A and B are shown apart, each in its own frame.
Chain A
């Protein structure tokens, strides 16, 4: 059985744990602790190490879902989990302060994974702000990183259907990049 390893990244309160729970076919392994930083996000608990879930794409393919903590003070976990990952599913809550800048910062942070497999962005909680346009994110990304192509969706992190679309887009991206890389390897092998 082949498998993919996907990282769920994004700021605290974006819905990473919720999204993994919405997708996973196994009981999610969570490492939640009481949240003492209510100023950063008003929720009772926060992930301090990882979330882990699994989903089958078909009989022959499995996707391992790893959620990382949103706070930068846990960035050592980001590096540990990024080592094995092939792509990033980035969730950004639209009601955060400067969500567009946050999205760009995360793309820069995980740029190596963009190159390895890909990144997709899911904007959550878009219904809580007067106006949240996907174009804003797409245009800001295009301005900041003109050569980067990243799909942007608005999603409900609780929705299995929404998250499946986002995840499968990323998986398709990863597989395409892997196929292109393998093909390039074959071609360069032939020209030697």
Chain B
């Protein structure tokens, strides 16, 4: 029987490795998770006060809605999602070639551009780690 992605040790260990560098890239990181497309948290860092399962579910829905908007408007592939609020922002990036999304919450002390850049680099790192044997 195939192991569910969020329980797969390879995804968990390499996800941890990728996320470990995110705080250095963007110190205002409050919370980050790697989730499956269908909303299961694979691994997360920081923000123990957050409900990781709920965050992953909401990120999954948000990602799918943003993808649907891009598709409906014939804009091509959706590259990232940003939710910018008064006291912080959430950045979501897909991990190329895998049914995974990186979702990260930052405080308002970081610029959105810097957070996005950090999230993209982390997603690319995870892709490299997952491709390695």
Residues in A lying within 8 Å of B, measured CB to CB:
29-39, 46, 48-50, 69, 71, 73-74, 76-77
Instruction: Give B59's nearest chain A residue, CB to CB.
Output: A48
Given A33-B60, A34-B38, A48-B39, 15 more pairs with CB closer than 8 A:
A31-B65, A32-B64, A33-B38, A33-B99, A34-B36, A34-B37, A36-B99, A37-B38, A38-B4, A48-B60, A49-B60, A49-B65, A49-B68, A69-B61, A73-B53
Within the complex, which residue of A30, A35, A69 is in contact with B68, where a contact is CB–CB below 8 Å?
A: A30
Q: A29-B72, A36-B6 are in contact. Are A76 and B40 (CB under 8 A)?
A: no
Instruction: Flag if B61 contacts A36 (CB, 8 Å).
Output: no
Within the complex, which residue of B6, B39, B68 is in contact with A29, where a contact is CB–CB below 8 Å?
A: B68
Instruction: Give A71's nearest chain B residue, CB to CB.
Output: B39
Instruction: Flag if B37 contacts A36 (CB, 8 Å).
Output: yes
Contacts of A31 in B (CB 8 A): 61, 64-65, 67-68
Q: A48-B38, A73-B39 are in contact. Are A33 and B4 (CB under 8 A)?
A: no
What are 9 A-B contacts with C-beta separation under 8 Å? A32-B64, A36-B4, A36-B40, A38-B4, A39-B4, A48-B63, A49-B60, A49-B65, A73-B39
| A30→B65 CA distance, assembly (Å) | 8
8 A Cβ contacts from B67-83 to A: 67-68, 72
Instruction: Flag if A46 contacts B38 (CB, 8 Å).
Output: yes
Contacts of A36 in B (CB 8 A): 4-6, 36-38, 40, 99
Contacts of A37 in B (CB 8 A): 4, 38, 40
Contacts of B131 in A (CB 8 A): none
Report the tally of A-B residue pairs with Cβ distances under 8 A: 67
Q: Within the complex, what minimum Cβ distance (angstroms) separates B15 from chain A?
A: 14
Residues in B lying within 8 Å of A, measured CB to CB:
2, 4-6, 36-40, 53-54, 57-58, 60-65, 67-68, 72, 99
Instruction: Flag if A76 contacts B60 (CB, 8 Å).
Output: no
| A38→B36 CA distance, assembly (Å) | 13
Contacts of A71 in B (CB 8 A): 39
Q: Within the complex, what minimum Cβ distance (angstroms) separates A68 from chain B?
A: 10
Instruction: Flag if B61 contacts A48 (CB, 8 Å).
Output: yes
Q: Within the complex, what minimum Cβ distance (angstroms) separates B74 from chain A?
A: 12
Instruction: Flag if B38 contacts A38 (CB, 8 Å).
Output: no
Instruction: Flag if B57 contacts A38 (CB, 8 Å).
Output: no
| A69→B65 CA distance, assembly (Å) | 13
A-B pairs, top 8 by smallest CB distance, nearest first, are A31-B64, A33-B37, A49-B61, A34-B99, A73-B57, A33-B38, A36-B5, A49-B64
| A35→B72 CA distance, assembly (Å) | 22
Contacts of A32 in B (CB 8 A): 64
Q: Within the complex, what minimum Cβ distance (angstroms) separates B91 from chain A?
A: 18
| A33→B40 CA distance, assembly (Å) | 12
Instruction: Flag if B68 contacts A38 (CB, 8 Å).
Output: no
